[in-house]
A and B are shown apart, each in its own frame.
Chain A
Amino acid sequence: EIVMTQSPATLSVSPGDRATLSCRASQSISNKLAWYQQKPGQAPRLLIYGASTRATGIPARFSGSGSGTDFTLTISSLQSEDFAVYYCQQYNNWPPCSFGQGTKLEIK
């Protein structure tokens, strides 16, 4: 089973600044990576798939990059609504698909 490791566990950033979240796979997953955002009390929302393709309706300030084992989610200018928990998910070698443990993005 592929293990996904996200870092950092918590990231403190000021509104308007850039946030960079990392996700590493225990083996190569090509570009088969998705990112989700989850706010308290809500279901997750798909942000990115294919490592870099934004899902419908996702603002351009969200961008994804990477391939192989190392991936990054960048939020270029943080808005108040962006503070949430972010999960990466691999779908290259599954079942099972696997999620990272999450990065909590909090207001600095």
Chain B
Amino acid sequence: EVQLLESGGGLVKPGGSLRLSCAASGFTFSNAWMNWVRQAPGKGLEWVGRFKGKADGGAIDYAAPVKDRFTISRDDSKNTLFLQMNSLKIEDTAVYYCTTEGYSEIWGYDFWGQGTVVTVSS
């Protein structure tokens, strides 16, 4: 059974940093394309970034609002995806989800974690 478990969320002041983790199990993590998607309170879904699987070159892409502030990394030996968030802004407040991309289906964000809440406030 595929499972994704995010952790690391919390309350942080503007300008601060936070590191989220997503522990994966039940599938071959090293080859999986992984994404971070966020959802601000009462709002819709926003793509944050993607890390392609090792077999596909491991490229990383970011959404414009987080580029140069957020860094996605992965530890395939520990089946874990990370999101390092620096220079946090109030508008980064959201639930952050990690997802697989096209793992069990030809395409789509087919598995999601339960999300971790990040609150940026003074």
Contacts and interface: CB of A to CB of B under 8 A. Distances in A.
Contact of A97 (B47, B104, B110): B47
Interface of B: 44-47, 50, 61-64, 97, 104-110, 112-115
Contacts of B44: 87, 99-102
Given A43-B97, A43-B115, A49-B105, A96 B64 contact: yes
B47 A34 contact: no
Interface string A34-64: 1010100001111001100101100000000
Contacts of B62: 95
A8 to B, nearest CB: 15
Given A97-B47, A102-B44, A43 B63 contact: no
Given A87-B45, A99-B44, A34 B107 contact: yes
A65 interface: no
18 contacts: A1-B64, A34-B109, A43-B112, A44-B112, A45-B112, A46-B109, A46-B110, A49-B107, A50-B106, A53-B106, A55-B105, A56-B104, A89-B45, A89-B109, A96-B63, A97-B47, A101-B44, A102-B45
Contacts of B114: 43
B46 A99 contact: yes
B47 A96 contact: yes
Given A36-B45, A100-B44, 14 more contacts: A32-B107, A34-B108, A38-B45, A43-B115, A44-B45, A44-B97, A44-B109, A45-B112, A56-B105, A91-B107, A95-B61, A96-B61, A96-B64, A97-B47
Nearest to B110: A46
